[in-house]
Chain A
Amino acid sequence: MIHLLCLALALAAALLSLAAGTTPVAVFSGLGDWLTGVDSPAALIVGEIRLPRTLLALAVGAALGLSGAALQGLLRNPLADPGLTGASQGAALGAAAVFYFGLFPAAGEAAPALAGLLGAGLALLLMLALAASAQAATVIMAGLAVSTTTSALLAVVLNFAPNPFAMQELVFWLLGSVSERGLEHLYFLLPALLAGGTLILRQRRLLHALSLGEQVAQSLGLAFDRGARWIILGAALLVGASVATAGNVGFVGLLVPHLARPLVGHRPDRLLLPSALLGASLVTLADIGVRLLPPGREIKLGVLTSLLGAPLFIWLIWKERRA
């Protein structure tokens, strides 16, 4: 039931996103035209401009929501953030290398995403090698070490920016956005979403058992070390791919599991899909907000989610304290 409600919300957000914009168009006929190859202005606006943006917002939100729910469940910590694996900073560093050193010129517009995915992968490998075991404290420390290192390297890159334009481009990119991206970005994101999601969903039983700690999970016959590594790998894939394509979209991965938790009786295994769907809805709605704000200097999606997410998070903590 909860799953259906969340799915309905995500679908409604997607339709709203296809309809939202400065030019009013008939969404369904435009979509129909685009699918059947009819050349019409509505087909161009809905199919070529708004559809990739909507699908990207949905996928980024789903990836962040799912990875947040999985990491919070694995680390038994409601403050675990998807950035914790170091994957998002690794992705940012990879993208920075493209802006400064012009890596992967053949990939064109998708070069930052490709390099970002590579950066996320390297950061993840480093983190897993450093963590060695899958104990929560070690994973948090290794993730922190890797993200601190990559952040320091990113600061070096910004410090020695060859020109202010490159720096501005990178900073704007890092602020997070799903605009001006095409369907080719989905070619990175969708496989990562599918692979990461599968890896995580296969460990549902472990996440449920981990509610009572590692010892209980192991005594229930579950392989904690192996399962934990799959979850970390899945989360890093999701985060890395989403940062690589859309930059940092803050607070979604941290906040969405908190919103979904009361809906599923606080069970970490049942939290996964609703978190993905709510994350998808939230990012899509935030992106509609970005488009509906008065024209001029566009507010970046990541800035808006952080602006909305921070007070919501404070409210959640306040509510929890009073309970």
Chain B
Amino acid sequence: MKLVEVDCLEVASRLAGIGFSLAAGEVLGLIGPNGSGKSSLLQCLAGLLPHRGEYRCAGSPVATLAASERARRIGFLPQACSSAWALCVEDVVALGRLPWGDDDRAAIEAAMRQTGVENLRSRRIDRLSGGEQARVWLARVLAGQPRVLLADEPIASLDLRHQRGIMETLRQHADLGNAVILAIHDFSLAARHCDRLCLMQQGRIHRLGTPAEVLTESSLSAVFQVPVYVDLDASPPIVLAR
């Protein structure tokens, strides 16, 4: 069954004619220049931005779902995360259980284990490094056990080890029968970890398909307006501006 089905999704002056579907186990990477609509699309899918068009999650129209039911099915990791208060890691992760109205220890422990933050559980979030914080923010979303996980640039400004760790955790979540949609600027990581990519330009889908179909020199050069060098056969794949 398709976990996400989107058709003719529109947001005035931001998104137009967006349509795609995603099956359980799939990771979809949203790529495109700044301002191309990646974050707006993720916010629409998370239920944060009003939109027109069809959007179904696990068969149900999302517009008809109660907010808490929507939040149980769809988890959202925003681009910039921060905590106003010096909460401990465990309390931040437990926030993921709010839509369920419980404090499911097993789910919280599993999320901390998946992201490798069990040893940080009693540390204050504001005293962790950027990479450690990124893992905690992801653990918070995973604790809600969402069928669809939306992540807006989850690896921006992380070191190589944390970038790989986050991408592998997202991959694992998809492999458990869920779907993941993430906005990403690192094409090499996108090529390695995403099943399909969606190249966006000015609020529309320019190209949608496997990494090999989307990451071509011609389409990337056209959208980013710089000459691009692509070698997807290399390990790891190479995609760079010339």
Please give the residue numbers on chain A whose beta carbons come within 8 Å of chain B beta carbons, in ascending order: 76-77, 205, 208-213, 215-216, 218-223, 261, 265-268
* B199 close to chain A: CB less than 8 A: no
The smallest beta-carbon distance between B154 and chain A, in angstroms, is 14
- Since A219-B47, A266-B85 are in contact, a sample of 14 more A-B pairs with Cβ atoms closer than 8 Å, ordered by chain A residue number, is A209-B95, A209-B98, A212-B140, A213-B78, A216-B95, A219-B71, A219-B75, A219-B76, A220-B71, A221-B98, A222-B67, A223-B67, A266-B87, A268-B85
- On chain A, the residues within 8 Å of B81 by CB distance are 212-213, 216
Q: When the two chains form the complex, which single residue of B82, B91, B92, B99 contacts A221, counting CB atoms closer than 8 Å?
A: B99
Cα distance, A205 to B66, chains bound together (Å): 17
Q: How large is the interface on B (under 10, 10 to 19, 20 to 34, 35 or more residues)?
A: 20 to 34
The answer to the question of B88 belonging to the interface, with a C-beta cut-off of 8 Å to chain A, is: yes
Shortest C-beta distance, A318 to chain B (Å), equals 17
Q: Interface on B for A, CB 8 Å cutoff? A: 43, 46-48, 66-72, 74-76, 78, 81-88, 91-92, 95-96, 98-99, 124, 140, 144
Chain B contact residues: over half helix, strand or loop, or mixed?
mixed
User: Which residues of B lie under 8 Å from residue A213 when comparing CB positions?
Assistant: 78, 81-82, 84
Which of B71, B74, B98 is most buried by chain A, counting CB atoms within 10 A of its CB? B98
**Cβ contact of A265, chosen from B75, B78, B87, cutoff 8 A:** B87
Contact B78 A267 (CB under 8 A): no
Query: In the complex, what residue of chain A is closest to B90 when comparing beta carbons?
Result: A265
CA distance A216 to B68 in the complex (A): 13
Task: Enumerate chain B residues within 8 angstroms of A76, measured Cβ to Cβ.
Answer: 84
Q: Which residues of A contact B87 (CB under 8 A)?
A: 211, 265-267
User: A215 contacts B85, CB within 8 Å?
Assistant: no
**Cα distance, A302 to B124, chains bound together (Å):** 35
Q: Which of B67, B75, B92, B144 has the most CB of A within 10 A?
A: B67
Contact A266 B86 (CB under 8 A): yes
Partner of B95 from the list A208, A223, A266 (CB cut-off 8 Å) is: A208
19 A–B contacts from the bound complex (CB under 8 Å): A209-B95, A211-B84, A211-B85, A211-B92, A211-B95, A212-B82, A212-B84, A213-B84, A215-B48, A219-B76, A220-B95, A220-B96, A223-B67, A261-B85, A265-B91, A267-B85, A267-B87, A267-B91, A268-B85
Most buried by B among A210, A215, A221: A221
A220 contacts B99, C-beta separation under 8 Å = yes
How far is A40 from B7 in the complex, measured between Cα atoms in Å? 81
Q: Please give me the 9 A-B residue pairs with the lowest Cβ-Cβ distance, nearest first.
A: A221-B71, A76-B84, A219-B76, A221-B68, A221-B67, A266-B85, A221-B99, A266-B86, A220-B98
B84 touches A210 (CB 8 A): yes
Is there an interface contact between B98 and A212, defined as CB atoms closer than 8 Å?
A: no
Which residues of A have CB within 8 Å of B95? 208-209, 211-212, 216, 220
Q: Which residues of chain A are within 8 angstroms of B92 by Cβ–Cβ distance? A: 211-212
B-chain residues with CB within 8 Å of residue A261 when the two chains form the complex: 85
Taking CB atoms, residues of chain A closer than 8 Å to B76 are: 215-216, 219
B98 touches A222 (CB 8 A): yes
- Tell me the minimal C-beta distance from B23 to chain A in angstroms: 23
Quick check: B46 and A219 within 8 Å, CB to CB? Answer: yes
User: Which chain A positions have C-beta within 8 A of B47?
Assistant: 218-219
A203 to chain B, nearest CB (A): 12
Q: Which of B48, B91, B144 contacts A218 (CB 8 A)?
A: B48
Among residues of A, the one whose C-beta sits closest to the C-beta of B99 is A221
Nearest CB in chain B: distance from A227 CB, A = 11
Q: Please, how many angstroms separate the alpha-carbon atoms of A218 and B48 in the complex?
A: 7
B104 to chain A, nearest CB (A): 15
Residues in B neighbouring A208, C-beta threshold 8 A: 95, 98
Residues of B within 8 A of A268 (CB): 85
Bound Cα distance from A165 to B72, whole angstroms = 63
Closest B-chain residue to A205, C-beta based?
Answer: B98
The interface residues of chain B lying within 8 Å CB-to-CB of A215 are: 43, 48, 76, 78
Minimal beta-carbon separation of A274 from chain B (angstroms): 14
Query: In the complex, A77→B84 CA distance in Å?
Result: 7
Question: Which chain A residue lies CB-closest to B124?
Answer: A266
Q: Which residue of A lies closest to B144 (CB)?
A: A220
Partner of B72, one of A205, A210, A221: A221
Distance, CA A261 to CA B67, complexed state (A): 30
What CA separation (Å) do A216 and B96 show in the bound complex? 10
